[in-house]
Amino acid sequence: MKNSWNRLSDNQGYRKSSAGRWKRLTALGMGVMLLAGALTGCGSPKEEKQPDAAGDTAVQETAKAGGEKIQLRYATGDSGPAVTVQEQIVKAFNESQDQIEVKLETYGTAFDQKLAAAIGSDNAPDIVKMWNFPAYYESLVPLQDKIDSLEDKDDFYATLFNYADMNGNIYGMPIGFSTRAIHYNKDLTDAAGVTINEDWTMEDLKAAAAATTKDGVTGLYFYYNPDPYALESILWSNGGEWLNDSGEPVINSDANKEALQFLHDMIYKDKIAYTGNRNDDFGQAMGSGNYAFGEMGKWFVSAINEAGINLGITTMPKFEGGESMSVVHASFLSVTNGSKNQDAAWEFIKYYTNYESVKTLCEIEMPVRESVAKDTGLLDDPQMAPFYTMLERSEAKRPSLVKSAQWPEVNSEIDAGLEAIFAQEDADVAAVLDEVQTKVEAIIQ
């Protein structure tokens, strides 16, 4: 292998601190989802009047009774350009009416610590930018009824609501997302005579990776410590998953064993896949021209283009008999149940997710409204359209993330197991998954 790390002595010795692993996952997940790469082709805004931000009767009466504006706090874990765009929407909302005033609070990388502390001291912000529902949903207001009452709910991609659904209640309104897709170097695939299409299999990917592995190029860029959440896309394509719809672990299913063995063989048996660290810069790796294929969200497309790579994006492959699907990295706006102004908070969320605001968010997020995606040309953009294709293909799936409140602990065990598998050439894939299954069963009782 081209890189080195501290190998594990055997398949049984992979257990690491659950708290430490979840802390790192949280930091990574937040970092990935808050990356702000500008999208091209956003076009000109549609001429559409902003709705009355304070149209709710309860909000108006509250404002009148107090004689002052209702003050709302909105907390985000973003930084940099992403904050600038959110500031624009907050400012526009505040100027659009005279009953509510929103103040943006930027928590940055300390988001979890600050939010947890605020909730614990009964000083939580009214609105939060959210993704980690297993950790926070008990401190959030269910929004199902309000979302269902939206006249234009059908304009939002239905798949996204699956990622804010805990125990049958939706706790967030979607504001941005990315699915997973295959990135490939067109110059390398063309030189190898490889044809890429949207209806391909893992065997096709394997053959393409083999054909392009030569002259210092490796076919597939992969990880020795892949993220369990992201990897579920590949499990789905073989009929597998980490947790079933009842929240029970099915980690050592035949489908999962087959999928992970296939990937392990690509690395060690076929020697057509490279294993880097998932914390490494994917854009830099693909931008080097040393890899033909890589699987990732949309966050590094601009960087790879800027590196001069003739970049192609296509849909996720599937196993024979399976379906091409992808998990979604989505962000939402949620209302904390400690807020004294929940109706006003919802008015802000409606404004934040109307056509014009979603158009503004196009600078940092993939539009969650089909109308905006269409009007900005993203559905016709060959590098962006596959991410929307994957979103629509995956509408029927809910990730294991939202199937159990114990997901943080479950994730830690799976995380360690995956590293034990992919960091070792002689790993017994089935045995590792069997052990992880036993550990997770002890967590979910």
Give me the helix-helix angle, 18-34 and 407-422, nearest 10°: 90
Domain boundaries, the chain: 35-178+329-384, 181-325+406-443
Q: Can you tell me whether residue 73 is helix, strand or coil?
A: strand
CA 222 from chain centre, in angstroms, equals 18
Return the amino acid letter for 87: E
Q: What is the CATH number of domain 35-178+329-384?
A: 3.40.190.10
Q: How many CA atoms lie within 13 A of 98 on its CB side?
A: 3
121-149 confidence digits (pLDDT tens): 999 999 999 999 999 999 999 999 999 99
- φ and ψ of 173, to 5 deg: -100, 125
One-letter identity of residue 116: A
Structure tokens at 49: 């009047």
pLDDT in tens, 281-335: 999 999 999 999 999 999 999 999 999 999 999 999 999 999 999 999 999 999 9
The distance in angstroms from the start CA to the end CA of the chain is 40
Instruction: Read off the pLDDT band of 19 (50, 70, 90).
Output: very low
Q: What is the mean pLDDT of residues 160-168?
A: 96
Rounded (10°) CA dihedral 361, 363, 366, 367: 40
Q: Determine the distance from the C-alpha atom of residue 290 to the mean position of all C-alpha atoms in its chain, rounded to a whole number.
A: 26
Cβ pair 18, 413 in contact under 8 A: yes
Fold agreement (35-178+329-384, 181-325+406-443): yes
Structure tokens at 77: 């874990």
* ∠ CA 57-60-61, rounded to 5°: 85
Phi, psi of 46 (to 5 degrees): -70, 140
What is the helix (H) or strand (E) element at residue 274, kind and residue range?
Answer: strand 273-276
Give yes or no for residue 9 having a pLDDT over 80. no
Contact 194, 187 (CB under 8 A): no
Pick left, alpha or beta for residue 254 (phi over 0 → left; psi -120 to 50 → alpha; otherwise beta). alpha
For domain 181-325+406-443, give the CATH number: 3.40.190.10
- β-pairing verdict for 218-223 and 291-296: parallel
The Cα 273–Cα 259 span in angstroms is: 15
The predicted pLDDT at position 197 comes to 87
Taken as a whole, the chain contains a residue count of 445
pLDDT in tens, 357-415: 999 999 999 999 999 999 999 999 999 999 999 999 999 999 999 999 999 999 999 99
**Rounded distance between C-alpha atoms, residue 40 and residue 355, angstroms:** 18
Question: pLDDT (tens digit, 9 = 90+) per residue, 52-79?
Answer: 444 555 555 555 555 799 999 999 999 9
- Extract the tokens encoding 48: 């559409």
For residue 150, what are its two tokens? Answer: 């939206």
Pairing of strands 173-179, 169-170: unpaired
The pLDDT of residue 224: 98
Query: At 445, is the pLDDT very low, low, confident or very high (cuts 50, 70, 90)?
Result: confident
